[in-house]
Amino acid sequence: MSSINAFTWGIAASYGVYLSHYLAENTFSGATPLDFALVGGLEFAMAMLGAPLVTIICRKAGLRPTMSGGVILQTLGFMLASLSAGRIWVLYLTQGVLIGLGISFTFVPGAAILPQWFRRKRTLAMGFSSAGSGIGGVIFSLATDTMIRR
């Protein structure tokens, strides 16, 4: 679960690196700082708002197909965002909606698993699991910055 937190909330936490790049390079002409803030907010909102839908899909399809779908959505979101060609609305759909839904489809099913495995020391296990978010945020932020510079 710690790795799931790293690959979901760690990626969401690294949006600040993209935000810094978008503002410094003026990649999207006509876009305001508020547009970029809304993209990051939309990503987080979609991760939370998708939870009821993901729960229903997970009950019908199972954990693995649902979580695999999340990985595919996140990957597509990043790939298509790279093809946005300076159009901010594409960034809303890709880095906002697709990646946000990918986070939801990956995180929500995984969050339900860990408490089932621990009767004693459940809070300690959840604490270690949650630490993956911060660790992922550091790793993805450093890696994203390096990739953007190159």
Provide the residue type at 146 as one letter. Answer: T
Please count the structural domains in the chain: 1
The boundaries of the domain holding residue 43 are 2-149
- pLDDT-derived band at 43, boundaries 50, 70, 90: very high
Alpha-carbon distance values, 53 to 50, 60, 100 (Å):
5, 11, 13
More confident residue, 120 or 71: 71
Q: Which tens digit of pLDDT belongs to each residue from 48-98?
A: 999 999 999 999 999 999 999 999 999 999 999 989 888 999 999 999 999
State the CATH number of the domain containing residue 134: 1.20.1250.20
- pLDDT-derived band at 1, boundaries 50, 70, 90: low
- DSSP annotation string for 70-93: HHHHHHHHHHHHTT-TT-HHHHII
pTM: 0.87
